[in-house]
Chains A and B, each alone.
Chain A
Amino acid sequence: MATPEAVISFEQAVKDYGPKEIGPVTFSVGPGEIVGFLGPNGSGKSTTIRMLLGLIKPTSGTVRLMQRDPLADHVRALERVGYSPELPNLQSFLTPRELLQLTAKELGLGRKETDDQLPVLLEDVGLIQYQEYKIAKLSKGMVQRLSVAQAMMGSPKVLILDEPMIGIDPAGVVKFRSLFRDFVRDGGTIVMSSHILSEVEALCTSLVVIHSGRILFRGGIQAFIRERLGSRSILVEIADSSAFEGGALVGRISSLAGVKRVSPAPAGLLVEIAPDSDPRAEISRLVVETGGNLVGLGYSRSELDEAYISAIRGTPAQ
């Protein structure tokens, strides 16, 4: 059930395409969240986003954006919302400056507001020196940057970003992360669909996972990992581990609460733990106490990846 302050809410929303049905979709997003919207190709992410933007009409159920119906009350619902589509195809005959001016006019911004915002946004996304180039001449990554810039025009309160990091170089990814965090710090809300789970893990505060048109999960990232993973593994890296006599250490780690099994690994030890436990501090202390030279300690694989794959397969990871 949507909370009264939710900026986005779906209540049993269904889109029936005939041979395929998306929904019923029920979830809400509160202000200040950065929500990762995950799901495999064809799972219904884009349809859900397009219902939210009032571009397609749900067959049944309700959708609210800024507490308004995005279809019936499209203008007011979208007043403070920015959208960057997946693989944006922007008007190739315009320049970045002209595209942002067009966006400003659509938003009803005055000349001064436009002139104030435009260079800042182009600078933020790293396109200030390309502002007079035709969009047709820009690279895929630059078009992606421009798409995010047009979404951020007009100081929106909500950003809906469909795969915003595709085609962006590493420096751009870092810049975008910072841009999005600042946006949320200033009171904004972001819903971001992505297949790059490391990006979601780094940026998002919560998740919505959709598969075959159904919402599989809505909540925090850690809660998702706990729910989906039966166990997690910590890799304990010890310098010159072959020479290190680790029998005592294995016994002491095994006795820690939450530890299921300890086994040798090429660089040290692999410690399997219960998903709701975190004995990393104790393990590091024990390694040092037993004379080991600890060089690294961390989860052995991307937990979100594992949890996500487990959710999509429908079984807990082993």
Chain B
Amino acid sequence: MRASRVLTFARYEIRRAVARKKVLALVALTVLISIAPYYALYATHTSLITPPLRPYLWILGVFLPQAFFLQFTALLIAAGSMSEEYEQGTAEVLLSKPVSRQEYFFGKYLGGYALVVGIVVLDVVLSISSATFVFGPQQQLGIEPMILLAQVFAALVFYSFAFMVGELMRRSSLSYILSASVFFTSEVVGVFLNILYTLTGTNIYKVANYYLPTSPVDSLPLLLAEPKFPSSVQLVFRFAATPVEPSIGISALLIAVYFISAVLIALTYFSRMDVAKRVT
């Protein structure tokens, strides 16, 4: 596998994804979610934001999109990555050149993922800037690179899953629907399992919740960040989510298992199957 060809396809994939209006719309929405809460909180003069909380409000913008918008954006970018090339008949032209299927596969995978990372970084920059602008200088920013790494690592789960579904289905509408269904189902089932555990105290509900794909995704950045902040700031984290997983290690392991499985399945399928002619 040649790095130059992988890079060519990665750049191509970024360009292709950015050309899609729905991806741009979601990026715009993510930006809005990163900055709007600060101005809303400022405008409403809520008593929730006490002076000791103000230097830590950057956390709000960083974590608010974590549970939904970042995952959904990752999913949307990945679901069409392979499938749209089949639908538009462009895969056969790209693959009729002297490039290996692995170069094409990993180039597209990494290109789309680089875009997801870019969106996470954009979210972080806008959150910190908005928090600083509205509520003054922010503290504990030194931990942000670690949170960023955790967020982009966690995004691999639904990014890889949607990428895999796109390759297996080879129909973008089906891959969007199926990937989004799994994502929403996991979120909803997670909430129900949590309620059942709270009501009954039965451990099986708690353990089952660990293995839902959304659980480690939501938990890892929170588990890393929460201990580094004063207890008075925990309220801000609750705006985002409550960690489900018992430890950072289990969260990271589950994320790795989910995304590596999805990548391997997609790569095996793509390497062995025929390159479909244009399908509509």
Contacts and interface: CB of A to CB of B under 8 A. Distances in A.
B98 A83 contact: no
Contact of A93 (B8, B15, B93): B15
Contacts of A108: 2, 4-5, 98
Interface stretch (B53-61, B177-185, B271-279): B271-279
A81 B99 CA distance: 12
Interface residues of A, number: 32
Contacts of A102: 8, 12
Interface string A70-104: 00001111110101010111111110000000110
B88 interface: yes
A228 interface: no
B90 A55 contact: no
B232 interface: no
B92 to A, nearest CB: 6
A285 interface: no
A83 B98 CA distance: 11
A91 B88 CA distance: 8
Nearest to B272: A57
Contacts of B275: 50, 55-56
A75 B89 CA distance: 21
Contact of B5 (A81, A94, A106): A106
Contacts of A254: none
B98 A76 contact: yes
A75 B96 contact: no
A78 B98 contact: yes
Interface in B159-185: none
Contact of A106 (B15, B98, B277): B98
A88 B8 contact: no
A50 B5 contact: no
Interface centre among B94, B96, B101, B278 (most CB of A within 10 A): B96
A107 B95 contact: no
Contact of B89 (A85, A94, A150): A85
Interface string B42-79: 00000000000000000000000000000000000000
A69 B124 CA distance: 49
Contacts of B90: 89-91
A105 interface: yes
B8 A55 contact: no
A108 B16 CA distance: 21
Contacts of B98: 74-79, 81, 106-108
A88 B274 contact: no
Interface residues of B, number: 25
A150 B96 CA distance: 11
B19 A83 contact: no
Interface string A236-270: 00000000000000000000000000000000000
B100 interface: yes
B99 A106 contact: yes
A90 B277 contact: no
A90 B93 contact: yes
Contact of A55 (B2, B5, B12, B274): B274
Contacts of B88: 89, 91-92
B277 A46 contact: yes
Contacts of B16: 91, 93
A278 B274 CA distance: 49
A88 B93 contact: yes
Contacts of A83: 93, 96
Contacts of B93: 83, 85, 88-90, 147, 150
Nearest to A15: B274
A53 interface: yes
B228 interface: no
B216 to A, nearest CB: 35
B15 A103 contact: no
Interface in B99-114: 99-101
Contacts of A76: 98
A54 to B, nearest CB: 8
A55 B92 contact: yes
A78 B101 CA distance: 13
Contacts of A90: 90, 93
23 contacts: A46-B277, A50-B275, A53-B92, A55-B95, A56-B275, A74-B98, A74-B100, A75-B98, A79-B98, A85-B89, A85-B93, A87-B89, A89-B93, A90-B93, A92-B88, A102-B8, A105-B4, A105-B5, A105-B8, A106-B97, A106-B98, A147-B93, A150-B93
* Pairs A-B, 5 closest by C-beta atoms: A89-B89, A93-B19, A56-B274, A106-B97, A55-B275
Given A55-B92, A85-B92, 10 more contacts: A81-B98, A85-B93, A85-B96, A89-B88, A89-B89, A91-B90, A92-B88, A106-B8, A107-B97, A150-B93
Interface of A: 46, 50, 53-57, 74-79, 81, 83, 85, 87-94, 102-103, 105-108, 147, 150
Interface of B: 2, 4-5, 8, 12, 15-16, 19, 88-90, 92-101, 274-275, 277-278
